[in-house]
Amino acid sequence: MCSPAVLAQVRSTLSRRGLLGRSAALGAGAAIVAAGGLARPLVVGAQNATPVASASPAAGSLSGGVALGNFSQIQDLSHIHSPAFPMFPGAEQMAINVLVTVAADGFYKNQLVLDEHTGTHMDAPAHFVTDGTTAELLPVEQLVAPLAVIDISARAAGDPDAQLIPDDILAWEASYGPLPAGAFVAMYSGWASRVGDAAAYLNVDAGGTTHFPGFHPDAAALLVAERDIVGIGVDTISIDYGASTDLATHLTVLSVGKYGIESLAALDTVPPSGATVIVGGPKHLAASGGPTRVLALF
């Protein structure tokens, strides 16, 4: 790495060339538009596997903007995690330790110290299963999936021990049709609104038991035995409900090679059916899970 003095010199040179700063960036954008020119709309979902030389915009794209073809929206389903993010009782909060700063060193970076099960994160099969698949080895085809969101928020609003039961799955199918093959099935309970308050998110009673919604083991059993899923997700901190004494949903899902995603965000902003979820799971060695960037396209 070069010295702060050298970096400062380069900054100065770039600044003279008009390349630094947000205003310069906006200026560059304006220049492209003014040139009438090279910009071409992004059309997700209209790509070819073979190289194409398409100079003309694809049909249906937004003029001058970002058109996503069959997708018109991208929604982030991951929370920002930090040392304040709620952790499962007994697990350590993450630490973010500043290593260097732009002011002192010319660049900025941190060291992260974290439990794999921090923030919006994956539970890989290996989290509960000896010789189960670790997160980095899950087939990549399982990370792009049709998203089904099952809403139990009305029940959860009055009962923190509410569980997603088989009837909720059947009711979803009655409305939207059979669960698509390879689906990722998410429970929306409304719990994400509590994530900024660890006490409310974990909801621990005087006896030390957590109370928040999750998948009933019978619903998990239905999904793995009678449907075709890649995994399940929740907007709470565990795919089992908080008062579970046996974590049977974890075992049911993970023991057949499926994965879980916990502490999902913004599930109320995506359609119950029809979105595609992209699961940017962790890729470190021997991962029992890890922080995961989850995006929904619809």
Q: Which residues are catalytic?
A: 127
CB of 268 to a second copy, least distance (A): 14
Identity of the residue, 90 or 158, whose beta carbon is nearer to a second copy in the bound complex: 90
Give the C-alpha distances (Å, rounded to integers) separating 198 from 87, 102, 195. Answer: 8, 33, 6
**Under 8 Å CB-to-CB from 138, ≥6 apart: which residues?**
124, 259, 281
Which residues 38-97 are close enough to bind a second copy by CB under 8 A?
Answer: 38-55, 66, 68-76, 78-83, 88-90, 92, 94, 96
CB of 69 to a second copy, least distance (A): 7
Buried b (16+ CB within 10 A) or exposed e, 249-278: bbebbbebbbbbbbbbbbbeebebbebbbb
196 binds a second copy (CB under 8 A): no
CB of 198 to a second copy, least distance (A): 15
- What is the spatial distance between Cα 129 and Cα 255, in angstroms, rounded to a whole number? 6
Q: Which of 31, 104, 154, 157 binds a second copy (CB under 8 A)?
A: 31
Residue 57 neighbours by CB distance under 10 Å: 15
Identity of the residue, 158 or 167, whose beta carbon is nearer to a second copy in the bound complex: 167
Q: Which of 59, 103, 199, 206 binds a second copy (CB under 8 A)?
A: 103
- What is the spatial distance between Cα 181 and Cα 257, in angstroms, rounded to a whole number? 16
Which residues 112-171 are close enough to bind a second copy by CB under 8 A?
Answer: 112-117, 119-120, 126-130, 136, 140-141, 143-146
Number of residues near a second copy (by CB under 8 A): 142
